[in-house]
Amino acid sequence: MKKRENDNAMAVDAPFGLNIGLSEEEKSDLEEMIGQFQEERSRTSRPADLETMQQQIDTINQRLASLSNLFLNLDRRIKPLYETIRLTYQKSEVLNQRINTLIDSIRMGEPL
């Protein structure tokens, strides 16, 4: 990369004299567009003042606290639901075992 002397934009030199089929006018237009883009990008990427950054950090902390509370509330509500589903599954397994025992007894002709 080679820096231009009249501004801070970076110009890219094509290594090995690579010709990509652009005329000199197109190349200069492309370099001008790249320069404008980089100039605009450098204007928008200036460091924010400390007060603005602190406000952003405070906002992020408030949102994080809110989401943490939301997560804890959901967790508190989901635990009983999970326990109910687990117990229902165990009950269905026990009932299936009893039904299988009855079916096997009937097939073998054993009295109930």
Question: Residue 86 above 80 pLDDT?
Answer: yes
The pTM (predicted TM-score) of the whole model is 0.41
Task: Look at residue 93 in the predicted model and tell me its pLDDT.
Answer: 97
Which tens digit of pLDDT belongs to each residue from 18-59? Answer: 556 667 887 888 888 888 888 877 766 566 678 888 899 999
Query: Are 11 and 19 in contact, with CB atoms under 8 Å apart?
Result: no
Per-domain residue ranges of the chain: 1-46, 49-112
Task: Look at residue 40 in the predicted model and tell me its pLDDT.
Answer: 78
> Which residue has tokens 């902390």?
61
Give 3-state DSSP helix, strand, coil % of the chain, rounded to 5. 75, 5, 20
Of 25-34, 59-68, 88-97, the one with minimum mean pLDDT is: 25-34
- The DSSP secondary structure of 3-57, one letter per residue, reads E-SSSS-EEPPPGGG---S--HHHHHHHHHHHHHHHHHHHHHTSPPPHHHHHHHH
